[in-house]
Amino acid sequence: MSEAKMKELRSDIEELNELLKQAKRKRAQDLLSLEIRKLETEWLNLKESAQSSQAGTSPAPSTAATSQPKRYQIKLNGYGWDQSDKYIKVFVTLKDVQSLPKEQVYCKLTDKSMELHVENLDNKDYLLVINKLLDSINVEESHWKQKTDMVVIFLAKARPNIKWSHMTELEKKFEDQRNSKLKPATPDMDKADPQESIMSLMKNMYETGDDEMKRMISKAWYEGQHKKKSDTLDL
């Protein structure tokens, strides 16, 4: 039963990870990451229970084999963030993290990256890595705090009072590319033939317009073509 349940959980975790890769909204990413962490914790608990059951039915282990159980590292993907004039504040949710000694919760910082390490929380190690921050940080003035079920990292801005639009360079690049694709192309009226520019503009309006706009453009196109044929016949 435990093996079937573990297999089912692993399939759910893999599918949620695929959805996380496709998610674009930050709130959706946070929700998916939280659910993945819950399922990973449940999977690990089942695995440990299964291992304990097997150990209970086997001969008593030797003294050398009764060492500390192996700890698993879990890489975190979800986090929240906010900012003030001086700090970028990163929020990482971890149940009971406030119970750990301070030396087991620490960050490794550079001017453009951060790593949060949480060691031996319920026999698991947690790691959050954020590379290529949007702007530089002041490592010396940065710090972190353990709170109830949460770690808050205060990344001191190297340039205070500068607002960050995104957390990382990659997020900003992705947003810029998406906006450039959505932005309609405008013809160069100075260089292009006037008739060609009008046709290009009408085509763009038709492709990006709603049903009513498309209907009006189609009607104008039909009437224009009909008028050309009439003028030719008159000649």
Are residue 158 and residue 186 in the same domain, yes or no?
no
Asked if the structure places residue 65 within a domain, the reply is no
Domain harbouring 138, CATH code:
2.60.40.790
Give CA–CA dist 155/113, Å, rounded: 10
Full-model pTM = 0.51
Q: 158: which residues sit within 8 A by CB, 6+ positions away?
A: 111, 135, 136, 137, 138
Tell me, yes or no, whether 28 lies in a domain: yes
Is 100 within a domain? yes
**Which domain, by its residues, includes 108?**
71-167
Number of structural domains the chain divides into: 3
Burial class (CB in 10 A: 0-12, 13-18, 19+), 56: exposed
Q: Which residues pair with 130 in a beta bridge?
A: 114
Tell me, yes or no, whether 126 and 185 share the same domain: no
Q: Is residue 218 part of a domain?
A: no
Q: How far apart are the first and last CA of the chain?
A: 88
For every one of its 235 residues, what pLDDT tens digit does the chain have, with 9 covering 90 and above? 567 777 887 788 888 888 877 888 877 877 878 888 888 888 777 777 777 776 665 555 554 445 567 888 999 988 999 999 999 999 999 999 999 999 999 999 999 999 999 999 999 999 999 999 999 999 999 999 999 999 999 999 999 999 999 999 999 998 888 888 776 655 555 555 666 666 777 777 667 666 666 777 777 776 766 665 555 555 4
Rounded-to-integer distance, Cα 40 and Cα 79, Å: 17
Residue 152 lies in a domain: yes
The answer to whether position 124 is within a domain reads yes
117: in domain: yes
Task: Phi first, then psi: give them for residue 186, nearest 5 degrees.
Answer: -110, 130
Residues 177 and 189 in one domain: yes
- Closest Cα to residue 17, out of 77, 95, 81? 77
Q: Which of 207, 73, 179, 88 is nearest to 142 (CA)?
A: 88
